[in-house]
Amino acid sequence: MATVRSVVAEARLERLLDAFHQTHGQTALEYLLPLNSDSWNGNHAAIAALALNGYIKQCITLNFDLLIEGAVEDKGGACETVCPLTQGVSFRTGAGKSLLTIIKPHGSFAPPDASANQMDLLSATLSQIGSRPARANVQAFKSVLSECPVLFVAGY
């Protein structure tokens, strides 16, 4: 039992989801639903403040929640979120001036007002990410990275 615990403790979320996805299909991603919160925190508010004050226009995040979008919207701004590994899908949140473009390599939960299922825009497993790097998707990253400044947000 101790060996199992150590393997799970050291395993990355993407690898665990890959294993679940191989045995249970797309429904395995439902394990991620508890992460679909609308309670943004001070870190998200700081990103919103940077965008609202014109310090950043681009953000790349490995997170698929909508917390940055929520903070920007609640502060009166708007975001254009791009999910380049899910066929280049993008969506807009907020009614204010579009201030921040958010690139999400792992995809995103769909916003509540979207016609898509909330899980349809996710590329959360390693096999999904590896199978979708089309030239246009790679170009989206190169385009964003060529602009300065770009904020990169990583971490669970």
* HEC letters along the chain: CHHHHHHHHHCCHHHHHHHHHHHHHHHHHHHHHHHCCCCCCHHHHHHHHHHHCCCCCEEEECCCCCHHHHHHHHCCCEEEEEECCCCCEEEEECCCCEEEEEECCCECCCCCCCCCCCCCCECCCHHHHHHCCCHHHHHHHHHHHCCCCEEEECCC
Q: What is the pLDDT along the chain (156 residues), one digit of tens a residue?
A: 566 566 656 666 666 767 776 777 766 666 667 667 789 999 999 999 999 999 988 888 888 889 999 999 999 999 999 887 766 678 898 987 778 999 887 788 888 877 666 666 776 555 555 555 556 556 666 776 677 676 767 665
